[in-house]
Chains A and B, each alone.
Chain A
């Protein structure tokens, strides 16, 4: 066609809906995940890996074998903790991008207790969790204070705080906390035995952290559904103007939420150092981008606290699958990032599909349009000026 600027009139019309039924949200989310899986399959083919065999290997090594399953769940733990915190923060429109740094801050707090205090044995682990939570909360409270008092954009500050935390950890393990035995790689001294979390059998599944995470999810679900605080968060998240009218102290609620969210991420950091590494290590090994993936966990859960559990398990699977792809299939180690990025993109792009549907135009309405226009054009084929949400049109739920 010559006239690229002329918008062709589609045969279908987008009809927004008042509210998104739960089944529709689940279906659209699964659709987004399915599209991501398709793209990954294409990547397998491009790298000359037989896709059927690749998927079989991934499923076997992440879900079917006990050891693989434990790795999937193990990687879901920090995602659960950071994810439930971010869900809270996002509910009140506090866009915390800083869970990664808050995880590192929590790890620093736990390490300080593990290496430099003389507590009686049974108190060490609880003290580490407490210190990690407080360190994470403090790390997250600074951007929240800046936002509440001075209106500083929290997206920028929380993101920048990630780098400060990263270099802080690097400085500690190369400087004051550097292990005497460390040559080449840098890390801290090994934690004493009483500062190490028990694991399930021979796996690396540090179950105390998992238990804390699940309890926290349940508590947050209860708080959001039944508490005054939960109601304030709900009002504030939906209408800041109405919240002010309702006498809700937005600054206080935001600060509290941000601290809670960051404290949860801090707990995740404790689990990583005390359950997996047993020392403070290079920050990019300590957290494999869990703080960023947790953003996706919170988005996938769409404000529902309990939905964080399947969302975190799914991303735990993506991380575990990434290991399988790298080790068993010899694919590039960046592939898991590609997958999380894809899912993020597709979930965000498919959001409008949860809130509306395509309906066929009324024929009389179509007759009123100029004759020069193409009579039948499915919306996906519309090139110029594709309607919002068109990007996600490949989702199987598109015509719902």
Chain B
């Protein structure tokens, strides 16, 4: 996956970001909040169109050439997103766990049959996903808002990772989770990379970024100011780069 977004300067937004994440690799984004992380995520996941520049997956622009279809082009191109706000964005609280597990894929097989939705297929898929991702819920018909934060995150992970996406974007994936849910989330992300996904990890937790990532990219003022291998990332140098001090 590759992002080139030499966007126009708009506040602290993404200014110049050129970033490449290879398949099987986890690239962590280090940076102080508000330095372009959410803009980078929005552009990669298709929630926002870059004012200039491109996002390429496997050398192609999702929905390329045709009129942009928002996040759907990205979904179809195999871009998964574990969003920052898991209860407001990641799931629809009033809808059942089963429907939330189909949320971003309801327009495709096996859930869609032409213009109709095969709710039985949605139900069957939810049963297996609940088992595979160890989601603690009274039933697959339970509204997602009644689940704990950790289980909501499992629903999201199950939905986003189950189809072997080519690109995974995870934003603060373990924020507010307990130890067990945190380690499970880490395992899932590592496993996704192991299956060949290009993983972009955005986290406030520098330890998390350093322990999971192969490479770390530092975002400051909307620019990728440094990239380094996580193994030999010096916390002090990282901190200076994050503060915008030239290396």
Q: Which residues of A contact B (CB under 8 A)?
A: 18-19, 226-232, 234-235, 238-239, 241-242, 244-249
Residues on the B chain within 8 Å of A234, using CB = 95
Q: Which residues of A contact B186 (CB under 8 A)?
A: none
Q: In the complex the two chains form, what is the Cα distance from A227 to B106 in whole Å?
A: 10
Chain A residues touching B, majority SS? helix
Contact status of A226 and B90, CB under 8 A, knowing A235-B103, A247-B74? no
Q: Is B199 an interface residue (CB 8 A)?
A: no
User: When A18-B143, A19-B143, A239-B88 are in contact, do A244 and B70 touch as well, CB less than 8 Å?
Assistant: yes
Interface centre among B71, B72, B112 (most CB of A within 10 A): B71
Q: Residue B133 at the A interface, CB < 8 A?
A: no
A-B contact pairs, 17 of them (CB 8 A): A228-B106, A229-B115, A230-B117, A231-B106, A235-B95, A238-B94, A239-B93, A241-B85, A241-B89, A242-B89, A242-B103, A244-B71, A245-B71, A245-B89, A245-B104, A246-B71, A249-B69
Interfacial residues of chain B within 72-111, with CB under 8 A of chain A in the complex: 72-75, 81, 83, 85, 88-95, 99, 103-104, 106-107
B119 within 8 A of A: yes
B70 touches A249 (CB 8 A): yes
Query: Closest residue to A242 on the B side, CB-wise?
Result: B92
Interface status of B46 (Cβ within 8 A of chain A): yes
Contact of B116 with A228 in the complex, beta carbons under 8 Å: yes
Shortest CB-to-CB span from B98 to chain A, Å, is 12
Bound: A23/B73 CA distance, A: 42
Is there an interface contact between A247 and B115, defined as CB atoms closer than 8 Å? no
CA distance A100 to B85 in the complex (A): 40
Q: Is the CB of B71 within 8 A of A241?
A: no
**Contact residues in A for B45 (Cβ distance below 8 Å):** 245
Residue of B nearest to A19 (CB): B143
Q: In the complex the two chains form, is A245's CB within 8 Å of B83's CB? A: yes
Q: How far is the CA of A41 from the CA of B94 in the complex (A)?
A: 40
Interface residues, chain B, with chain A CB atoms under 8 Å away: 45-47, 69-75, 81, 83, 85, 88-95, 99, 103-104, 106-107, 112, 115-117, 119, 143, 146
Contact partner of A246 (CB less than 8 A), chosen from B104, B112, B116, is B104
Closest Cβ of chain A to B119, distance in Å, is 7
In the assembled complex, the Cα of A229 lies from the Cα of B114 at a distance in Å of 11
The chain B residue sitting closest to A252, CB to CB, is B69
CB neighbours of B104 from chain A (8 A): 245-247
Which of A232, A234, A235, A242 is the most central at the interface, judged by chain B CB atoms within 10 Å of its CB? A242
Of the candidates B73, B95, B116, B146, the one whose C-beta lies within 8 Å of that of A18 is B146
Minimum Cβ distance to chain A for residue B73 (Å)? 8
Inter-chain CA distance A241–B146, complex, in Å, is 19
The 6 A-B pairs at the shortest CB distance, nearest first, are namely A247-B72, A247-B71, A239-B92, A242-B92, A241-B89, A238-B94
Q: How far is the CA of A246 from the CA of B143 in the complex (A)?
A: 17
* 20 more CB-based (< 8 A) A-B contacts, given A239-B93, A242-B90, A245-B47: A227-B115, A227-B117, A228-B117, A229-B115, A230-B117, A231-B117, A234-B95, A239-B92, A244-B71, A245-B45, A245-B81, A245-B83, A245-B89, A245-B90, A245-B104, A246-B106, A247-B71, A247-B72, A247-B107, A249-B72
Q: How far is the CA of A239 from the CA of B143 in the complex (A)?
A: 14
| A contact residues around B99 at 8 Å (CB) | 231
Asked whether, in the complex, the Cβ of B69 is within 8 Å of the Cβ of A247, the reply is yes
| A242/B88 contact (C-beta < 8 A), A19-B143, A228-B115 known | yes
Q: How far is the CA of A238 from the CA of B89 in the complex (A)?
A: 11
Chain A residues contacting B74 (CB-CB under 8 Å) are 247
Contact flag A235-B92 (CB < 8 Å), given A244-B47, A245-B104, A246-B103 = yes
Check if A242 sits within 8 Å of B91, measured CB to CB.
yes
Please, which residues of chain A bring their CB within 8 A of the CB of B71? 244-247
Chain A contacts of B89 at CB under 8 A? Answer: 239, 241-242, 244-245
CB atoms of B117 and A226 under 8 A apart: yes
Inter-chain contacts of B91 with A (CB < 8 A): 242
User: Chain B residues near A247 (CB, 8 Å)?
Assistant: 46, 69-75, 104, 107
CB distance from A357 to the nearest CB of B (A): 18
Q: Please report the C-alpha to C-alpha distance between residue A58 and residue B102 in the assembled complex, in whole angstroms.
A: 51
Q: How far is the CA of A229 from the CA of B99 in the complex (A)?
A: 14
Contacts of A249 in B (CB 8 A): 69-70, 72
A131 to chain B, nearest CB (A): 26
Q: How distant is the Cα of A18 from the Cα of B144 in the complex, in angstroms?
A: 11
Q: Which residues of B contact A18 (CB under 8 A)?
A: 143, 146
CB closest chain-A residue, reference B114: A228
In the bound complex, CA of A248 to CA of B172 (Å): 24
Please measure, in the bound complex, the distance between the C-alpha atom of A231 and the C-alpha atom of B99, giving whole angstroms. Answer: 9
Chain B residues with CB below 8 A from A232, complex form: 106
Point out which of B69, B75, B106, B119 has the most chain A C-beta atoms below 10 A from its C-beta.
B106
Q: Which residues of B contact A235 (CB under 8 A)?
A: 92, 95, 103
